Amino acid sequence: MSIRHYSPRRNRRIGISPRMNTLLLTVLAIALLLQVTYPLVDGEILRVLTIATIYWGAGAMLLHALLAYGLRYALTYLGFTFLFALIIEHVGVITSWPFGQYSYSPDLGLQIYAVPLVVPFAWIMMAHPILVISRRVAGHWVFLYAGVGLAAWDLFLDPLMVSAGRWTWVINGPHVPFQPEIPLSNTFGWLLTGMGLMSILHLILPRERRKVGASLFAVELYLIWVLFSGIVGNLFFFNRPGVALFAGAIFGAVLTPYLLTRWLGHP
C-alpha cells in the first residue's frame, strides 16, 4: 500500500522581461495621462488630444494582447475588430441602423466611407480588455456579458463626444437616461453589435495566455481607470452627475465580479 501526496499544479507562466513590461506600462501611462489632461484644454489642442488618446489607448491594449496572448491573437484581433467596426459604423451612418440617426464631424480627421479612421480604434481600445474579463467570469455567456460591458463604456463616451461636437444625433424618440442628446436606440445598438463582435472574437481568438507573457495588470488598471475617470470626470469636471451615477453603476456592475474573482480567487 502506498500513500500518494497531492501537490497542486503550479502556475508555470513566466512574466515578460522588465524591458517589455516597462514598454507596456509606458504606453499605457501615456494614454492615461492624455485622458487626465482632457478637461484642462480646449480648441484645437482638445481635438488633437481626443484623437491621440484613442490611438494611444488602442496601442496599449494591442501591445498587451501581443505580449500576453501572442502574435496570432493580436493580428486577428486588430484586423477583425477594425473591419467589423468600420462596416457597422458605415452602415449606421448611411442607414441610421442600429444606433439611430447620427453623423461624424470632420474634426476627427481622415474618414473611410464616412467613418473617421479613429473610430474603429476606439472599438479596438475597449474590446480586448472587456473580452479578457468576460472570459474569466461569464462562462457560456461571454457574448452577453461583454456586450453589456461595451454598451456601458459607451454611456461614458457618447455624452463627452457629443458635448465636444465630435458627432451629433437626431432625436426622434426616447433618449438615454440623463443624456437627452443621445437616443436610447444607440445603447441598444451598442448592446446588439457588442454581443455580435464579442461572440465572434471569443470564438476565433486563443483563450490561453502565453507561458512567457504579460500579466493582466495593464488590462485591470485600464478598466479601473475607465470607471474612476468616468465617475470623477462627470461629477467634478463636466457637471453631469446623472451620467456619473448611471453609467458608473452599470460599468461598475460589469467590472466588480471580475475584481472579486481576482481578490477571492477563481472557483
Q: Are 213 and 67 in contact (CB under 8 A)?
A: yes
pLDDT (tens digit per residue) in 74-104 = 999 999 999 999 999 999 999 999 999 999 9
Q: Are 133 and 149 in contact (CB under 8 A)?
A: yes
3-state secondary structure of 169: strand
Conformational region of residue 265, where left means phi above 0, alpha means psi within -120 to 50, and beta covers everything else: left
Q: Are 238 and 160 in contact (CB under 8 A)?
A: yes
pLDDT tier for residue 265 given thresholds of 50, 70 and 90: confident
Is the pLDDT reported for residue 23 higher than 70? Answer: yes
The pTM of the whole model exceeds 0.85: yes
Pairing of strands 167-169, 115-116: unpaired
* Phi and psi, residue 178, nearest 5°: 70, 10
Q: Are 254 and 155 in contact (CB under 8 A)?
A: no
Most distant CA atoms of the chain, gap in Å: 80
Rg (CA), the chain: 19
pLDDT (tens digit per residue) in 195-205 = 999 999 999 99
